[in-house]
Every structure is written in structure tokens, then in C-alpha cells.
Amino acid sequence: MTTRKAIRVSVNANDEVLRKQGIVRRVVCGHEPCDTRPVRGDWLEEFLLSNTFVQDALSEITDRITSDSENSGPSRVLPGLWLITSPATCDRRNSRDNIAIVPTRELCEGEHLNLLCQAARLDRTVVQNMLSSLDLASESDIPRTADLLKLLARTEGEVTRRTVMLEEVGRQLGETYEEVHLFHAMIGETSVATTPSRFLSMVLDELLRILPFSWIGVRINMDHLNLPEKFSGFMLGGEHEDQPSVLRTLGDRLMASSEGRNPFVVDVEDDPRFDGVVGGGDSVIVCPIAGDNGTIGVVYAGKKQAQDQTASSIEAKLIGAAAEHVSIFLRNASMYENLDAMFLGTVQGMVSAIDAKDPYTCGHSQRVSWLAGELAVHHGLEDSQVRRFKLAGLVHDVGKIGVPESVLRKAGRLTDQEFDWIKRHPEIGARILRDIPQMDDILPAVLYHHERWDGRGYPTGLAGEEIPLIGRYVAIADAFDAMSSNRTYRSARSRDFVRDEIRRCSGTQFDPNLVEAFLDIDMREFDHMIKEHRDLHEKTREAA
């Protein structure tokens, strides 16, 4: 007769982090009666686990684990609610598995939210507010979430296994400590906001700190990835006798000839891949970095500084663990960059809709985006901020979708009523974008790009540094392009006139701290964009 495994709450630091994403975990053990009840007084537990349908699904998965049935992957319990199983240990005497209950943003929008609230006797509005404060995943993120949970479970299992080993074998205390530290250091740096170069630099620093190798390298095949920063695909740490280009070429050779996920040791003397390499030592540890469709890179370490220069199993294992973390990080970074590209495509669609309403301003938003980004670069802002300022310039006029075409295309002077329509577009744009989480830091640019430094702008009459910085950047870029391009009511102004006008309005219309930096921008790319859009407008008019 099969003994049912118990489900009990897993409480540790990782679970506290997961709860911020709405994820609740259970640890499945093999020696207690089954208990699927929620912890009373915990709103998230009660919300997710009070429904009998969810409890039955948990019990079913528990029975499947008990009978050693194959678990094919994440299971959807309800639309927007998933169960993800992750093996935590491989010890047959004390087998443990994790079951994660993962709600997604789609759950908040579906009718099944009512069922869960009713079963838990919780108010739907209160639950929605509580869920909105969490960083919930989306349905499309579930496969990657499952990968990360499995990696986390394996890490925790390894920590547990090593803890037991420490009690039995004191000799391994130092090695196990360093391994656990490496895992946690890499997990702590695994964030969507972390750049690949920063993450890989941290990995190399940690490995060099705990492993007795003179140098460690990482070589990535950038053809298989879409990463959010310009990155050469090669990073080297430590002290080495060879030129970096030599070790980069070695990385190319190792990457081309390595498969799988397991680390291996290469005898340098007998391996032709090391021809021309001086400082490799007797042996080099190599571990492939696995991607979705094969090897995407390698981690390799050479010239061991120890009496025994033969690479040990614990050293190979640490290199392998690092390569696994690098693999997960790079695949996730590439996935999020692809999602960001899709998001920007949607934004471009909105901008095109504005261009269709007013062909005279065709390309205006793209040029303002470029100008705002260049100004951010000149002011030394970080790459992530430059990207956000460019996005702000792209969407700053999205509110013109709500302005009548007769007003936008009018060739003559606007009436007071018509100008009131124009003055509404910042607030209309802010309303359009306010429910998009990715736009939270962009909204000030949309809402305040027509405010003036002297307080005489619209829609709220903010003055000086009351105007958010991103709004001040877009304001000067917007005005520069408006004067530099043809409009229905006038022709484009000369460059000298526009520059003089920008300088004249420093301290009245524009932030005086931005004007000189803005006027230092090399405008050749801007002029090329003006010409492209002008030619496109002429072709469109001729075709009509």
C-alpha cells in the first residue's frame, strides 16, 4: 500500500521573496498524513487554498509524486492559476518535492477570482487590491517561472544535502560554505534589471574568490541571443599570461566542440585546441552553457594555483553550477528583451495612428525620441534611463489620438476652443497609458511636456524643478523638432533661428541646465530623419 506524502508549509527566505510574486510553496515529504489546508490568518494562503478544487488538484499531484508518475510540467488548475512541481532532493530515504501555487495577472481579470474569494470568504475588491501590490507573472511567463522554481528547488536541495554532509564530514565545511555562498550570490543577482555584463562579472568574481584558478573566462555566442545591451560575448577575470584575444579564441574553440550541460576537465598538453595558449596550466575545467537549441557558450577556468594541479570534482561542480545559472539568466534576459521589442512594436503602432491623423507631423515622435535620448546621453544618464527617456519621447503625443483631425490639420490660426482641444492632449495621453505598468515612469513626460520653466505652461502650470526631469527633457526636444519641421500653418525654421530661439527661451520656457547640453548634440542623424520623413510625405502626397 502506498504511503501518501504530507504537504506542509515551507517557510524560508526564498518563500518570502516568492510571496512578493504571489507564489505559495508546499514541501512534500514522505512520512506524515496529507494536509492541504491553508494557514489561517494568512490572506494569500486562504485565497489560494480554500477552494476544494484547488485542494483536490494538490492532492492529485501529491499522489502522482508518491506513485513516481512522471510529471510533465506546470498544471493549470483554473484559468490564471497554476501548480508547478519541483524535485527538491534525490535522497530516497528522505525524498522531498516542492509544489508551487502560482497565480497570474490573468486570474485577476477572470471570473474564477470570484470563486476563490467566495471559498475563502474574502472580499473581491480587497483581494484585487492586495494582488495588485504583488509582482504577478503573466500566463506567457509560466514556462520560465517553472525553470526558475526548479533551479531554486535544486539549489535549496543542494544546500540541504550539503548541510547533512557537513555534519558527517567536517573536512568539507569550507567547500560547502563556498558552494552555498556562490548559489545565493548568483540568485541574488538574478534580476530582469541586471545587465548581462554585470551578472557575468559577478559570477567571475565569485568563482575566482572561491576557486584556486588564476583566470576564468566566459564566452557567449551572441548570434543565439537577443540581449538588452551591447555586449561582446566575452569576459575574462583574474591574472593571465596570454593576451585576452588568445583566451577569447580558446573560448571559441571550446564552445564549438562542447555539448551538453556537464563540466569536464581537459588535459592541456594533449589537446590541439590549446595550441598557442601559454598560461593554461596542466588542465582546464570547461562547462558548456546550454541554450534552448544547443550550446550557447562556455565557462572555462585555467592555471590552478595549488600543489595538486588536477581539477577536483568540487571545482568542476561549482563551475557547472555557475554555468547553469548563466544559462537561465541569459535565456531569461533574451526572453524579456523579445517581450520588450513586442511592447515597443505596440507603441510604434499607436504612434503610427497619430501620424495617420496628421501627416504633417509624420516622424515627429520618432525624432523627439531620438533627441530626448541624445540629451540623456550627453547628461551622463545610465543606459536604462536613456532607454526610458527615448520611450517617453516616442509616446509623448499619444493623446493627440483624442484630438479631432480638423483641429490637427487646420492650416490657419486656431480658435480658443480649438486650442483648448490641443491643450487636452497631455491629459488624454496620460489616461490612455496610466493602466500600463511599464509606463509608470513615462507618464510625467506625457502629462508635463508642455509645462514651462516659468510656470506659464499647461496643463497644471508647474514651474522650475516642480516639473519632473523627464518632462523637461521631452519639452525641449518637442519644441526643437516642432520649429525644425514643416507644419500646416508654416514652413520649417532655419537651424540658426531654432538654436537662437532655444537659447533665448532658456530660463523661461526651458530648464536652463539643459539648454547648452542640448545645443551640443550632433544633429546629423536628426537631419537625416527629417529628410526621410519629408521624402515619405512627398511620396504619399503624390500617390494621393
pLDDT at residue 346 in the model: 65
Asked if residues 228 and 195 have their Cβ atoms less than 8 Å apart, the reply is yes
pLDDT at residue 353 in the model: 66
CA angle 474, 524, 506 (to 5 degrees): 40
Distance CA 220, CA 297 (A): 4
pLDDT at residue 176 in the model: 44
181 or 349, which is more confident? Answer: 349
CA 102 to chain centre: 19
- The answer to which of 215-219, 342-346, 474-478 has the lowest mean pLDDT is 342-346
Structure confidence by residue, pLDDT tens digits, 455-468: 999 999 999 999 99
Pairing relation of β-strands 283-291 and 294-304? antiparallel
DSSP string, 253-274: HHHHT--SS--EEEEGGG-GGG
Per 3-state DSSP, what percentage of the chain is helix, strand, and coil (rounded to 5)? 55, 15, 30
DSSP string, 115-179: HHHHHHT--HHHHHHHHHTS--B-GGGHHHHHHHHHHHHHHHHHHHHHHHHHHH-GGGHHHHHHH
pLDDT at residue 93 in the model: 54
Q: Give yes or no for residue 3 having a pLDDT over 70.
A: no
pLDDT at residue 488 in the model: 63
Distance CA 390, CA 380 (A): 14
Which whole number is the average pLDDT over 426-438?
85
pLDDT at residue 173 in the model: 41
pLDDT at residue 466 in the model: 96
Using 50, 70 and 90 to split pLDDT, how confident is the model at 300? Answer: very high
Partners of 8 in the beta sheet?
27
Q: Give yes or no for residue 218 having a pLDDT over 80.
A: yes
Percent with pLDDT over 90 in the chain = 23
Q: Cell for 213? A: 584558478
Which positions ≥6 away from 426 have C-beta within 8 Å? Answer: 399, 446, 447, 448, 449, 450, 458, 459
Q: Where in the chain is the domain with CATH 1.10.3210.10?
A: 358-543
Structure confidence by residue, pLDDT tens digits, 261-291: 898 988 888 888 988 887 777 888 899 998 8
Q: Where in the chain is the domain with CATH 3.30.450.40?
A: 188-333
> Could you give phi then psi for residue 522, rounded to 5 degrees?
-70, 115
Using 50, 70 and 90 to split pLDDT, how confident is the model at 325? Answer: confident
Distance CA 191, CA 206 (A): 17
Whether the upstream peptide bond of residue 459 has omega within 30° of 0, thus cis, is yes
Best CA proximity match to 296, nearest among 356, 220, 363: 220
Only one residue has cell 598557442, namely 276
Percent with pLDDT over 70 in the chain = 79
Q: Give yes or no for residue 437 having a pLDDT over 50.
A: yes
CATH number, domain 358-543, options 1.10.287.610, 2.60.260.20, 3.30.70.3190, 1.10.3210.10:
1.10.3210.10
- The answer to which of 121-135, 159-173, 241-255, 525-539 has the lowest mean pLDDT is 159-173
- The answer to which of 77-86, 241-250, 349-358, 403-412 has the lowest mean pLDDT is 349-358
Distance CA 383, CA 323 (A): 26
Structure confidence by residue, pLDDT tens digits, 360-409: 566 888 899 999 999 999 988 988 899 899 989 988 988 888 888 777 77
Structure confidence by residue, pLDDT tens digits, 481-526: 989 987 666 678 999 999 999 999 999 999 999 999 999 999 999 9
Structure confidence by residue, pLDDT tens digits, 118-145: 998 999 999 999 999 999 989 898 999 8
pLDDT at residue 359 in the model: 59
310 or 132, which is more confident? Answer: 132
pLDDT at residue 544 in the model: 54
pLDDT at residue 2 in the model: 38
pLDDT at residue 69 in the model: 54
Mean pLDDT of the chain: 81
pLDDT at residue 168 in the model: 59
What CATH superfamily classification does 188-333 receive? GAF domain (3.30.450.40)
pLDDT at residue 540 in the model: 61
Distance CA 55, CA 26 (A): 12
54 or 159, which is more confident? Answer: 54
Q: Give yes or no for residue 344 having a pLDDT over 80.
A: no
